[in-house]
């Protein structure tokens, strides 16, 4: 018996690790809910709302299950590849319209820092630190390749929401408000 996308996401967001977020004024869960809420408020397509909601799922995963402290590897100076890990996990239920922006959201940060004057200054202190661990701003050739990729635009949109969804005062809607969307987007309604 396979688990549904809604049940899997609900379970992941209830792990102990979801209650922490190193270097940010919000928990991982609140960060993800804020990002999903901001995407919904901006009338983004459903797949991008889901990608915004799930973009940091990889922080909550290890190779075989829930992690202990989200972002600990990044903050300690090792790139934990959370975008790719989250995308692989989400691919059990969702197609590339959800998983690719999740996979590429770190690359989108590197791209924006290289191509948009002033973007680096918008990053939180923790995001600036992790940028250095994640390879720093892209070089010109890498930025051109990224911009030409099919999912660059959606990944950039998710990255902008990522930085905006760190308000320690705002409380967003709970995961239950997103479950119908996740169910509708999941392959075979899983």
For residues 2 and 7, give the distance between their C-alpha atoms in angstroms, rounded to a whole number.
10
Domain ranges, residue 145: 5-189
Q: pLDDT tens, 45-92?
A: 999 999 999 999 888 875 444 444 445 444 445 556 889 999 999 999
| pTM confidence score | 0.87
User: What mean pLDDT, rounded, does the chain reach?
Assistant: 85
Output the pLDDT for position 165: 86
- Angle at which helix 28-41 crosses helix 46-54, to 10 degrees, equals 160
Question: Quick one: which H or E segment has residue 176?
Answer: none
pLDDT-derived band of residue 94, with 50, 70 and 90 as boundaries? very high
Number of folded domains in the chain?
1
Q: Looking at residue 183, which CATH number applies to its domain? A: 1.10.3210.10
- Angle at which helix 28-41 crosses helix 152-164, to 10 degrees, equals 120
Paired sense of beta strands 65-66 and 61-62, if any: antiparallel
Output the pLDDT for position 28: 82
């Amino acid at each position: 018996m396979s688990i549904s996308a809604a049940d899997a996401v609900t379970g992941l967001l209830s792990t102990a690790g979801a209650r922490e977020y190193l270097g940010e004024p919000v928990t991982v869960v609140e960060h993800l809910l804020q990002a999903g809420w901001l995407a919904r408020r901006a009338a983004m397509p459903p797949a991008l709302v889901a990608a915004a909601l799930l973009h940091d799922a990889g922080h909550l995963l290890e190779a075989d299950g829930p992690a202990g402290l989200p972002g600990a590897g990044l903050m300690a100076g090792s790139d934990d590849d959370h975008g790719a890990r989250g995308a692989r996990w989400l691919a059990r239920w969702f197609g590339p319209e959800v998983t690719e922006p999740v996979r590429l959201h770190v690359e989108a940060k590197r791209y924006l820092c290289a191509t948009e004057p002033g973007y680096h200054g918008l990053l939180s202190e923790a995001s600036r630190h992790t940028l250095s661990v994640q390879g720093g701003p892209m070089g010109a050739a890498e930025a051109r390749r990224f911009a030409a990729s099919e999912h660059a635009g959606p990944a950039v949109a998710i990255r902008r929401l990522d930085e905006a969804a760190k308000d320690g005062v705002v409380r967003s809607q709970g995961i239950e408000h997103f479950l119908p969307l996740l169910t509708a987007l999941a392959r075979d309604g899983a």
